[in-house]
Amino acid sequence: MIKRFTFIVLLALTILAIAVPAHAQGVGSVYVDTTYTGSEDGSQSKPYNTLNEGITAARAMTGGAYVYVKNADGTWGQGTYYASTYQGRYGDPIPDALLYTLLAVLALGLILAGWYFQRRARQLQA
């Protein structure tokens, strides 16, 4: 019973350690001011000057983004979230050294829990 519990805990920890969350990149913010002139990058100091530009930029971000539009009184309105249409990958693959280290820790944990590994050879009956 303890062996099985230890195995499940170590397996779960190993899987959690190598898992990459889908929204690892986080949610961004894009700003739009229709009266702004000059270079645009979507930041608060250099907002886009059309809502379409802001929405396109928000959807291009890996985690999506909130789009904030500047009101006539100079304040920023409540942000509207636009989900990502990004089709790329969300995380980097695990380096081989890290993967082998996690597998070694898992094997060591199993050995310390009382498991042992043996090679079973099958003999053919004549």
pLDDT tens figures, 14-63: 666 665 444 445 678 999 999 998 899 999 999 999 999 999 999 988 77
Question: Any bridge partners for residue 31, and if so which?
Answer: 68
Rounded CA-CA distance 109/43 in Å is 49
Mean pLDDT of the chain: 78
- Ordered alpha helix ranges (H), the chain: 2-18, 51-60, 96-112
Question: Any bridge partners for residue 82, and if so which?
Answer: 65
Cα–Cα distances in Å, from 8 out to 14, 17, 78?
10, 14, 46
pLDDT greater at residue 85 or residue 77: 77
Dihedral class, residue 64 (left if φ above 0, else alpha if ψ from -120 to 50, else beta): left
- The answer to pTM > 0.75 is no
Cβ atoms 115, 7 nearer than 8 A:
yes
Q: Which stretches does DSSP call E strand in 1-126?
A: 28-32, 65-69, 80-82
